[in-house]
Amino acid sequence: MEQCACGTGLAYAECCQPIIKGQRPAETAEALMRARYAAYVNVETDFIFETTHAQHREGYDHDGTRAWAANSEWLGLEIVSTKDGGKDDKTGEVEFIARWKENGEERVHHERALFKKEKSCWFFTDGMAVNPAPQQPIVRGPKIGRNDPCTCGSGQKYKKCCGK
CATH code, domain carrying 80: 3.10.450.50
Range of the domain at 33: 17-133
136 — pLDDT class (breaks 50, 70, 90):
low
In a domain, 50, yes or no: yes
The total of structural domains in the chain comes to: 1
Rounded Cα distance, 27 and 25, in Å: 6
Backbone angles phi, psi at 137, to 5 degrees: -65, 145
In a domain, 143, yes or no: no
In a domain, 43, yes or no: yes
- Quote the pLDDT of residue 63: 97
Order across the sheet with 91-102: list the strands.
72-84, 91-102, 105-118, 121-129
In a domain, 162, yes or no: no
Segment 130-157 mean pLDDT: 73
- Quote the pLDDT of residue 155: 81
In a domain, 117, yes or no: yes
In a domain, 160, yes or no: no
Of 4, 33, 139, 45, nearest in space to 93 by CA: 33
CA separation, residue 6 to residues 15, 17, 102 (Å) = 9, 11, 19
CB-CB neighbours of 57 under 10 Å = 11
In a domain, 70, yes or no: yes
Count how many Cα atoms sit within 13 Å of the Cα of residue 111 in the half-sphere of its side chain: 15
pLDDT of 124 above 80: yes
Rounded Cα distance, 62 and 77, in Å: 22
Per residue in 40-73, pLDDT (tens digit) is 999 999 999 999 999 999 999 999 999 999 999 9
Q: Are 68 and 34 in contact (CB under 8 A)?
A: no
- Quote the pLDDT of residue 140: 63
Amino acid at 125: T
Q: Greatest CA span in the chain, whole angstroms?
A: 78
In a domain, 6, yes or no: no
Range name among 20-29, 40-49, 119-128, 155-164 with the lowest pLDDT average: 155-164
